[in-house]
Amino acid sequence: QVQLVESGGDLVQPGRSLRLSCAASGPGSDYYAIGWFRQAPGKEREGVSCISSSDGSTWTLDSVKGRFTISRDNAKKMVFLQMSSLEPEDTAVYYCATVRCSRWYGPYGMDYWGNGTLVTVSS
């Protein structure tokens, strides 16, 4: 079974940056595509970005394009979400999950989830 652990969430002011990390472990964990999701208070969980395990292709939610960048370090079994120019609307619990990642449609077929890390953007 794959285990995922998110880290890096914090309270930051609008306009600042954060980098979230997702550490994967367990059999075959380095072969999965990984997706980042977020769930804001009172809202449904939404896919933010995903990255494939094979060719490194990515997908990113339109509303965060140009501000959020996903990357992975296969040797360390880590996936990162670099977030810049943060806005109060980015406040949410951010989760990583093993997924299938379509460069056109985003993440689907989620299997394993982490417990999430809280990002709060507020002045």
Per-residue model confidence as pLDDT tens digits over 37-52: 999 999 999 999 999 9
Strand locations in 1-123, DSSP E? Answer: 3-7, 11-12, 18-25, 33-39, 46-51, 58-60, 68-73, 78-83, 92-102, 106-108, 117-121
Structure tokens at 9: 């969430």
Query: Residue 31: what pLDDT?
Result: 82
Residue predicted with more confidence, 1 or 15:
15
Per-residue model confidence as pLDDT tens digits over 2-38: 999 999 999 999 999 999 999 999 887 778 999 999 9
